[in-house]
Structure 1
Amino acid sequence: MPKWSWKWITLSLVTLSLAACNATPGTDGSQENTGADQETNQTRNASAGTGNALDDPSSGERKTIVFSAFWPNEQYEQAKKEYEATHPDIEIKLQYGLSTPYSDEGGDEAQLNADMEKYITSTNAAMLAGKGPDLMDLRYLSAEDYTAHRLLDELGKRMDQDQTFDKSDYFTHVLESGRNEEGLFSVPLTFSLGGMIGDQAAIAQTGVKIDDRNWTWNDFIATGQKLLAAKGPYKTVIGNGEGMIAAAGTDFFVRSIVTDNYGWFVDEAKRKASFDSQDFSELLKQIKGMFDDGIIAGGPAYFTNVTINSPTDYLTSLQAFGDQTAFYAKPHATGAAAGAAFTKEYNLGINAKSSVRDESWEFLKYLMNHTSFGFPINKQRYMEDVQELKDKGTIAPDKTGPLQGKEFRVDAAKLDRLEDFVNQAAQERNESGKVLDIVVAESAAYFAGQKSAEDVARLIQNKANTLLNE
């Protein structure tokens, strides 16, 4: 599945704003998903002349939850099948935005783009008209703007009032990362981790001690200077790129670090940026200093940036970089929270206007408790996945990857260390949005010696705030 740029997030924001201006009572905003039947529960009940089944429990009518996502998803299909088998009074109606098969290996990109645009605009229009799906995967949609328009159900209150729901069963930092002053309006089913893989054997040769539990970029710079001074096997501390892919120039690193610390510099709920702070101008100076001193450069290095998508991916990534490697938390900006960076995946929300909000919440809980891919939000599912790996004993990686399908043994000790990073995930990464593009574009003048870090920071602040308040 391809990764898409901020283009679609921007489209979501623009079309939501336009739809908000144009929406009027009685507007037909029913969602059209590439030809699929997109009737909402409200529309179905009205056309059938039965009224709202939620208001009349004695009606005995089978209730339908419309669950919308752009990409077809086998996990959703399996969950639907299992849930309906144990809840005969509930039908889960899955609706997808993609009209024709597409993958990185092939597909009609023009049709994909058309599907994406139609999915975003039709979903926004339907939501603003008080219609739309009951439950939705918010990928490519603007959860923040849906929240601002009060289009999503407040899930934090449901969690607090539901006696069957125990927050301690989940990775709480990740679960509640979207909470703001108004509440919590979406929850992820899974997440990924951002960090670094380090060559432990090479680091040991230098005698330099590594403490990544609470290090800032200042701490990392001091450690990097010691590693270079030790004249060990590498001439660079951290590679400019991610995984096996090298990058050129400062763009990648600026984007990567701001992505990891996005919530420290941008409050999307309040539509406010803080790039004019000393912390940000200091961060720019730190990045420039690392490039100037050779701490960041292309080629082999003591550390490599990585994104880890699951326990299996964690072990496979470590193995790809050598037998004696370890995962490390990335340094954080001064003042920001310590801990591994994470990205929420499969973020779901409930339509505030749905007539089956309670039923949708029950199904959402089922998804949270039965999702077993990536890093599951449910702690028990995560522990079961890890134990299954240990019991299996070996991993056969993809033949097209760096290990070329060569089977290797599961390292139980490394899996045990992974649990600390998962439990301490603290910094939510934000990889999308024009704010990051503004940061990268405007900071180039500082790295070229044309403007001071403070001048660039003020310029970024002004442009970011303008964008956030459009």
Structure 2
Amino acid sequence: MMKKKFARVMSMLLVSGMLFSVAACNSGKKGKVVKISEDDPYFSAKTVVLYQPESTSDQVSITNMVDLGDKFAVVMDIYLGSGIEMMYSGDVITKSVEIDGEMVDMEIINSPETTDIDNEDTDVAADQEGDEDVEEGTDEEIIDDGLSEEGTDEEIIDDGMSEEDFEDYYEDEYYEDDWSQYQKKILVFFDYDGNKLSEIDISDMMNDPNAYFTSMTKDGKGNLLLCFDQSEYTNNTYKSSLLLKTIDKDGNPVGEDITIENKENEYIYSAIMDGNGHIVAQKDGQNGSVLGVYDLTGKFLFDIKPEGDYPYIQGIYPINGELYVSIYSEKVGVYKVDFEAQKFGAKIDAPNLLFYTPVITDNGLFINKPSGVYSYDLTTGKEEQIMSWNDTDISITTASQSSMLPVSKDKILLSELYYYGPMSYYGGVPDLDAEIEPLTLTVLTREAKNPHAGKTIMTLGGLDIGYDDALAKQILEFNKVDEKYRIEIQDYSDRLDMSLVMSEDEDGYLKALNDLNQKIYLDIVNGDGPDILYSSYYSANMDRYVAKGLLVDFYDIAKDDADFAKEDFLPNILSAYEVNGKLYEMPTGFYMTGWVGPERLIGSRSGWTFEEFNQFVDGLSSDTVVFANRTQKDMLSSLLNASLGKFLDYDKSQANFSNEEFYGILELAKQLGTPLTQDELYSDENYVDEYALMSSGKLALQDAYVFSPMGVAESKSYFAEPVTFVGYPSEEKSGLMCSSSGTFSIVSTSGSQDGAWRFIKSMVGADYQDSYAKNGYGIPVRISSFEKQIELVKKQAEDMNNGEFYYGMGSYELTDEDIEFYREIVANATVRGQIDEQILGIINEEAPAFFSGQKTAQDVAAILDNRVKTILSERS
């Protein structure tokens, strides 16, 4: 259960943290100007190529990076595409092969036997052109468009080979090939300036084809310990052993190999030598993780099992002769290993090690956080910042998401983690002609003088800014060309209360976030906030900021700017963000959220009132499920998505939940949601297969997330029938809700409003918006870029498998009707997503008493009126 909870918490950290981001502090009182001096810290950045892929189909990743005191070693996992451009599209792969000097697309079944195919293994008739049939008697297997002569969807193999013979053929032929020529792992040594010293092909160390490299650590004596798993599957059981090879800093073998035999269905991911005569292994099995302890010959000594039903050991950390582990179970935390007592010692208060993978060098323990590099003292729990990402000229996304190695306080190395070629997210368009980018190392070196001396610091505040790659690149570009201002980032996510996040309270993360957002709001009120407020995905509730006059109206600041025209943007989207005709938030992009279900059940509506939604629910057959896998609190949050603001008056600091509409919402949430907790709901015995319900026509509604026209086609595929997208119930019967992919506001106390507007204007300019459309970050707000997104997605659909995609419940095509439907639902998006998470948290605290029958809806509403009024009054 804890492992599932941890997965959800991490998802919330990576997504929800972005959802409710709002602001940070540090720009000071109104009119205050802070300029950079020559003495301010600055690190120059030198980029070094670690590996140069040969084609866009190559895949390269860094799996380990270890400091060796005078140099460092990295392990690279490399998959060579060998010039074969393969576009994975579900059940079929389109493969380009060379015929008579020209590239011709072939379609092959995407099964485990045919995932990787070499050009040399495919005999193609030399004289075929266009769609002519393959000459009889050849050995090639080319699959047609998936339709038989009778029009069925059975697969036909054109050379007459039966499907069984085809599978048998590849069953034999596939495994006879030496696929190691396409995939390898190499160990490379570099000096601290990024110069390559030597290279070892780890694949050459293994003769067993069933063995593979798993990890690299140190042996406690300055050598490298390489771990290889040797696995065997028989009769639905799994048996493996761990092979340990030790090499010195020059790659020479040290001592004898060590083999550790595992128990049945037991797996060792990583092992270390602690320097005190032990091999310590992280073992995973059917009942969770245990810490295995062995002598230096591999002889088993004892196991130490964490408490809990299914514990998970995340990491093992040897520090100053002691060993520590981070554990997720009923008792989440970091523990010191007591070898003498053969147990874990007392819990250590080190919550940051649960969320930031530590880097251990001879100089201590370090973590890479959104704001910079920190040293971390496990005994005291204290952090010290070594450097801020504001003190250099690299993307904060690159910095905070790279593998980091602090050589000293004056030199820090950052390695990119992977190169996967052109990829597509949420309907983005992969550019197969894109330049092949190398995997790089960045060497950061402290300089004596700051080259930006004299520029004015302009602060951009928010949460998890480092996850927004497009924003980070735009900041980098602005800082490069603007002669007056330099943007510095204040990311408040560093200050989340991790102890609350990892508590047994399933709302712990939201409570920690609410506390943080309240502190940020008070900083803004007191004039200590940033120049620019940034929020990604769902906007944090901005009504209270507007009510206090804390934000600048964009229409006013842009009225004399010839480079900005309101008519260039989707009018309904700007209107959704307006307050009394003023625009305090500038959206750069958005996506749409709401519900989707079969048209035969919902009809052709785009929105509904609560009364109409109740009628819809009452009219469903008894064997139709309205929603699957929803707790009552989840359901209540969904129902309040578009209507919570109706019960709040920020100007007067009043709340009014004591009315029939709110009583009805509580009753509906109780009826449609399950009383199970999140952990209970996600257990194997309670979780419902939504796809099975959809394929059988027994699911009425599902959450909808639309980033591009593909969202329409995908939903039809899921339900295998025509669908209707509908907004959350509201008095206005609004359509899908416009959820921000990033909004900006200018703080009224900022002394740099001209620079803030100049930066924000670049985010809605044609260049950025076109890039936004291409990369699939969301739906652009600029009309011309919105049209470009549609054209790019149409081209993508035409280029891949003749317009046919394989996703969801099967194959689907993007049709002209889908695109027009997409335009329609975008045009119907007139409400922005804006939830006050602190108030929603209070509602979620009080509502369970109604769900369990302990209190009436009227009792709960009266409590909410008082509690929320107090919160609103405190804010004012």
Query: What TM-score comes out, normalization by structure 2 length?
Result: 0.39
Deviations 1:285-313 (A, max 9, x none): 44456679xxxx96634433324151056
Is residue 71–residue 98 contact of structure 1 (8 Å, CA) maintained in 2? no
Q: Distance in 2 between matches of 1:396 and 1:165?
A: 37
- Map residues 164-203 of structure 1 onto 2, 5 A cutoff: 164-180=563-579, 183-200=582-599, 203=600
Identity of aligned residues (%): 16
For the residues of structure 2 that align with 1:189 and 1:438, how far apart are their CA atoms?
A: 31
Structure whose alpha-carbon radius of gyration is higher: 2
For the pair 1:93 / 2:93, whether they are aligned, the reply is: no
Answering whether residue 469 of structure 2 is matched by residue 74 of structure 1, we say yes
Q: Does 1:238 align with 2:637?
A: no
Give CA-to-partner distance per residue, 1:268-294, whole Å, 9 cap, x none: 4554333123322233344456679xx
Per the alignment, residue 700 of structure 2 pairs with 303
Partner of 2:647: 265
Return the match for 2:636 from 238, 254, 257. Answer: 254
1:338 matched to 2:734? The reply is yes
Q: Which residue of 1 aligns with 2:841?
A: 437
1:161–1:268 CA distance, 2 compared to 1 (3 A): farther
* Residue of structure 1 in register with 2:761 after alignment: 365
Q: What's the CA shift for 1:390? A: 0.8
Kindly state the Cα deviation for residue 434 of structure 1 after the two structures are TM-superposed: 2.5
1:411 and 2:791 aligned: no
Partner of 1:3: 12
**SS where residue 463 of structure 1 aligns?**
helix
Q: 2:797 aligns with which of 381, 385, 393?
A: 393
Instruction: Report SS of the residue matched to 1:227.
Output: coil
Q: How does 1:266-305 map to 2 (within 5 A)?
A: 266-268=648-650, 270-288=652-670, 300=693, 301-305=698-702
76 and 143 in structure 1: CA distance in 2 versus 1, 3 angstrom threshold: same
SS in structure 1 of the partner of residue 12 of structure 2: coil
Letter in 1 for 2:491: G
Aligned residue pairs, count? 407
Residue 858 of structure 2 is aligned to residue 454 of structure 1: yes
TM-score normalised by L of structure 1: 0.68
Q: How does 1:92-171 map to 2 (within 5 A)?
A: 92-95=486-489, 97=491, 130=527, 133-138=530-535, 143-144=542-543, 146-147=545-546, 150-171=549-570
Structure 1 residue aligned with 2:723: 326
- Per the TM alignment, residue 141 of structure 1 is displaced from its structure 2 partner at its CA by 7.4
- What is the letter of the counterpart of residue 474 of structure 2? A
Q: Distance in 2 between matches of 1:453 and 1:99?
A: 36
Q: Report the Cα offset of residue 66 of structure 1.
A: 4.4
Distance 2:561 2:30 in 1: 35
Q: Which amino acid aligns with 1:262?
A: L
Q: Name the SS of the counterpart of 2:818 in structure 1.
A: helix
Given that 2:534 and 2:745 are in contact with CA atoms closer than 8 Å, whether structure 1 keeps it comes out as: yes
Judged with a 3 Å threshold, the aligned counterparts in structure 2 of structure 1 residues 278 and 124 are, in CA distance, closer, same or farther, namely closer
Per the alignment, in what secondary structure is the counterpart of residue 744 of structure 2?
strand
Asked if 2 retains the 8 angstrom alpha-carbon contact of 1:62 and 1:89, the reply is yes
When you count strand as a share of all residues, which structure comes out higher? 2
Contact (CA 8 Å) 2:653, 2:869: kept in 1 or not?
yes
1:383 aligns with 787
Unaligned runs of 5+ in 1: 40-47, 49-60, 101-108, 230-234, 241-245
- Which amino acid is 2:750 matched to? S
* Contiguous gaps of at least 5 residues in structure 2: 1-9, 37-369, 373-386, 392-449, 495-501, 504-508, 675-686
Whole-angstrom CA distance in 1 between matches of 2:594 and 2:473:
32
Larger RCO, structures 1/2 (Cα 8 Å, 6+ apart):
1
Give, in whole Å, the separation in 2 of the partners of 1:99 and 1:252: 24
Aligned to 1:54: none
Shift of 1:2: 3.7
Q: Distance in 2 between matches of 1:96 and 1:358?
A: 20
Are 1:176 and 1:187, in contact at CA under 8 Å, matched by a contact in 2?
A: no
User: 1:224 Cα deviation (Å)?
Assistant: 3.5
CA contact (8 A) 1:342 1:426 kept: yes
- Classify 1:94/1:408 alpha carbon distance in 2 versus 1 (closer, same or farther; 3 Å): farther
Give the letter aligned to residue 279 of structure 1: E
Q: Which moved more, 1:115-124 or 1:412-421?
A: 115-124
Among residues 744, 760, 778, which one is paired with 1:374 in the alignment?
778
What's the CA shift for 1:75?
Answer: 1.0
Amino acid at match of 1:236: T
Report the secondary structure of 1:446's partner residue: helix
Tell me, yes or no, if the aligned pair for 2:635 and 2:672 is still in contact at 8 Å. Answer: no
